[in-house]
Amino acid sequence: LFTEIINYFQNEHDDVDSLRIDTNEDNKAMQHLIEKNGFTRVGTLHGVYRKDEESYVYAKLMHPDKQKQ
């Protein structure tokens, strides 16, 4: 389902330049899925899910060739 959603935005929405997603530092399975689908870790958030923990922020350019023009 995750991959289908990413593909939907990439193939059906030229107006969406990028997607961002965040996940808890302990959610290794989600981190793997995110990275497997071409996202790059771009930042860290503090205290989003629980007071003393980090979340990782990922982003993916949907149309990298379009960005270069």
pLDDT digits (tens, 9 = 90+) for 6-65: 999 888 988 999 999 999 999 999 999 999 999 999 999 999 888 899 999 999 998 777
pLDDT at 20: 96
Burial 18-48 (b: 16+ CB within 10 A, else e): ebebbbbeeeeebbeebeebebeeeeeeeee
- Tens of pLDDT, residue by residue over 37-50, are 999 999 999 998 88
pLDDT at 65: 77
pLDDT at 67: 55
pLDDT at 21: 96
